[in-house]
Chains A and B, each alone.
Chain A
Amino acid sequence: MVKRLVVGAHYGFRDWLAQRVTAVVMAFYTVYMLVCIAAMPAWDNAAWRVLMSGGFTKFVTFLFALALFFHAWIGVRDIWMDYVKPISVRLTLHVLTLLALTGYAGWVAQILWRL
């Protein structure tokens, strides 16, 4: 019988690819935002608010946040799988990681769309 672990390494190519696609999305966003911040008329809170209130900026910032949380999920899951051997502890850490990242996504959406 095949020994199956509920939190074993049963995700392969798809997550490997997702890790890289989200990395490229974040890299483009990072360069784009650095250019936008460098081009702000003044480096103060008013200009920062104007920049972040733009519809396009909100859209790409939210995409960046989702890419970041997906990327973090795969990376942190790999860390748990490498160092945490007891299945119960590992499953708990996986669930806590997912819950935290899902909550962060809502938090970022709320920050962006109350502007």
Chain B
Amino acid sequence: MAEATVRKARPKHLNLMQIRLPLPGFVSILHRVSGAGLFLCLPVLIALFGASLGTPEQLECYRATMAFTVLGLPVVKLLLLGLLWAYLHHFCAGIRFLLLDMHIGIELAPARASAVAVLLISLSLTAFLGVLTW
């Protein structure tokens, strides 16, 4: 049983800058990051939703908030654009995970291809809807 007791020190790569994720891993961590971002911004989103359907004063406040700029940058709209991407990425990656759960596309090549598709589709939908609603 000597080989069971003598353990080789296994390398640990906990430096995030040194870990090179494969594309499906990239989609996966972005799924978590986008979900966390959406959760943290829920109060902002509900407040804007409520103001857009509220009294005339609240609607005025909603319009002023949307038009708010810092150094000429429409920061609220940019935040919402980021959250739109987060929602669309979470949506597309979620559908990919549902398909993987059903054992659709679990081989290496299709799993890589669907990861690329998730990244591209969510980015292009963000651009499309962002331009349409800006």
Contacts and interface: CB of A to CB of B under 8 A. Distances in A.
Interface of A: 20, 23-24, 27, 30, 45, 48-49, 52, 72, 75-76, 79, 100, 104, 107-108, 110-111, 115
**Which of the four size classes fits the interface of chain B?**
10 to 19
B50 A111 contact: yes
Q: Is the interface of B mostly helix, strand, loop or mixed?
A: helix
Contacts of B32: 75, 79
B59 A108 contact: no
Interface of B: 32, 35-36, 38-39, 42-43, 46, 49-50, 52-54, 59, 91, 94-95, 98, 101
A76 B39 contact: yes
A64 to B, nearest CB: 12
A57 B43 CA distance: 21
Contact of A107 (B38, B39, B50, B54): B50
